[in-house]
């Protein structure tokens, strides 16, 4: 059974500090960036509501997809990034092997066991499962599932508390029933329907708790750069960590959101390294190339503007970290970004 008392738990440490991980407001036409945040399509949040249970990971053994650690070897540059990433450049590994982080896509219950087993080979300290998913998700008898809506934005516009409430309600409603689940086809199409006789449901927090792993939820919208409030909350969380903490970041695929947070953490912990080395090495151990940009996106490429925003924002975050190191300050990311926007607008 899901313990209802956990419904309000999203980042308990932030509650004690009076902080909440903020979502996307009302979800449409959000303004914030160096200039203005890339607006969402002009559709009401209801247009993105979930309509089927997607299978994110079958309850098989082995490690989750796109698993890597800070100690993973560099791989070759993929063709899709050949025009952006200099394949002849070998990024520094200074501070990387001791960074104590890993990343992956969503795991099933058995894959989580394999994940914990693998990480326990690398650390005796506390392990934190940093769940970056805004979408409602959990486990049907160990199989990882999520409630899928257009663009994976089923919870867009909801507060973190509302996200958890939706997640709890949907998992509880499935308990004891025969539930149709699907794979996600190209775009938003559900494929390969099959039935799971759901005899047990778990939230990810319950799974983590059962294995003695700390759980942190940062409910970030898929495909988008995190909001200023979400990054402020992440930075506050990082300041609470013991020196021997190991952070495992994951989203659905283990690519966009996961790499963005691994890049930011690397920048925080290794401020003396060039920007290029950090974004290259987080890509080359198995993530995405976070500064990837689409110069002239096609009209059908709805992700293009969001890639461009990430391209700009990851560079700005590096500047933010450098400023804090030089000035010895503790200014929040949101305030720094606001001040920078004001300077740009007044120049």
Residue 57 pLDDT > 90? yes
Relative to beta strand 246-250, strand 127-133 is parallel
For 80-102, the pLDDT digits (tens) are 999 999 999 999 999 999 999 99
| Strand, coil or helix: 260 | helix
Angle of helix 275-284 relative to helix 304-327, nearest 10 degrees? 130
For 277-309, the pLDDT digits (tens) are 999 999 999 999 999 998 777 777 889 889 999
Distance of alpha carbon 138 from alpha carbon 168, whole angstroms:
9
Residue 1: count of CB within 10 angstroms of its CB: 9
Distance of alpha carbon 156 from alpha carbon 177, whole angstroms:
27
Annotate 230-258 with b (16+ C-beta within 10 A) or e (fewer): bbbbbbbbeeebeeebbbbbbbbbbbbbb
Using a 10 angstrom Cβ sphere, with 0-12 exposed, 13-18 middle and 19 or more buried, the burial of residue 318 is buried
Distance of alpha carbon 347 from alpha carbon 267, whole angstroms:
28
Residue 32 pLDDT > 90? no
Q: Distances from the Cα of 21 to the Cαs of 121, 163, 188, 336, in angstroms?
A: 32, 11, 27, 18
Question: Considering the entire predicted model, what is its pTM?
Answer: 0.88
pLDDT value for 23: 32
pLDDT value for 4: 35
Distance of alpha carbon 130 from alpha carbon 254, whole angstroms:
12
Whole-number mean pLDDT of the chain? Answer: 88
Confidence class for position 342, pLDDT limits 50, 70, 90: confident
Q: Which CATH architecture has domain 4-346?
A: Alpha-Beta Complex (3.90)
Task: Select from 210, 135, 201 the least CA-distant residue to 171.
Answer: 201
For the chain, the structural domain boundaries read: 4-346
Among the residues of 270-332, which ranges form H helices?
A: 275-284, 304-327
| Strand, coil or helix: 138 | strand
Beta strands in the chain (DSSP E): 52-57, 68-69, 101-104, 127-133, 137-140, 143-148, 178-184, 190-197, 201-202, 214-220, 246-250
For 93-151, the pLDDT digits (tens) are 999 999 999 999 999 999 999 999 999 999 999 999 999 999 999 999 999 999 999 99
Distance of alpha carbon 130 from alpha carbon 251, whole angstroms:
9
Quick one: average pLDDT of 320-339? 94
Backbone φ/ψ region at 106: left (φ over 0), alpha (ψ -120 to 50), beta: beta
% of the chain at pLDDT higher than 90: 78
Residue 203 pLDDT > 60? yes
For 256-278, the pLDDT digits (tens) are 999 999 999 999 999 999 999 99
């Amino acid at each position: 059974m899901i313990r209802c008392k956990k419904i309000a738990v999203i980042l308990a440490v932030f509650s004690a500090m009076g902080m909440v991980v903020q979502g996307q407001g009302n979800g449409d036409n959000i303004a914030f960036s160096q200039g203005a945040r890339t607006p969402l399509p002009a559709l009401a949040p209801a247009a993105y509501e979930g309509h089927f249970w997607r299978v994110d990971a079958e309850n098989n053994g082995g490690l989750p997809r796109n698993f890597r650690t800070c100690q993973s070897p560099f791989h070759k540059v993929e063709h899709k990034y050949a025009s952006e990433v200099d394949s002849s450049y070998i990024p520094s590994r200074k501070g990387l092997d001791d960074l104590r982080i890993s990343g992956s896509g969503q795991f099933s219950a058995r894959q989580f066991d394999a994940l914990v087993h693998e990480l326990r080979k690398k650390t005796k300290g506390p392990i934190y499962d940093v769940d970056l998913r805004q979408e409602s998700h959990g486990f049907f008898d160990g199989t990882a599932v999520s409630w899928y809506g257009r663009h994976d934005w089923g919870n867009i516009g909801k507060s973190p508390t509302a996200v958890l409430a939706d997640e709890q309600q949907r998992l509880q409603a499935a308990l004891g029933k025969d539930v149709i689940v699907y794979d996600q086809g190209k775009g938003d199409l559900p494929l390969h329907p099959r039935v799971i006789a759901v005899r047990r449901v778990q939230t990810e927090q319950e799974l983590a708790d059962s294995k003695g792993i700390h759980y942190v939820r940062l409910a970030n919208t898929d495909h988008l750069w995190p909001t200023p409030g979400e990054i402020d909350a992440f930075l506050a969380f990082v300041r609470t960590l013991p020196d021997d903490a190991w952070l495992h970041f994951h989203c659905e695929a283990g690519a966009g959101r996961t790499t963005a947070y691994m890049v930011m953490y690397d920048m925080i912990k290794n401020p003396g390294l060039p920007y290029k080395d950090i974004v290259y090495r987080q890509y080359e151990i198995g993530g995405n190339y976070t500064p990837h940009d689409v110069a002239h996106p096609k009209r059908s490429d709805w992700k293009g503007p969001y890639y461009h925003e990430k391209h700009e924002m990851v560079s700005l975050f590096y500047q933010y970290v450098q400023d804090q190191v030089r000035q010895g300050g503790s200014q929040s990311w949101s305030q720094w970004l606001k001040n920078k926007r004001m300077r740009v607008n007044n120049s």
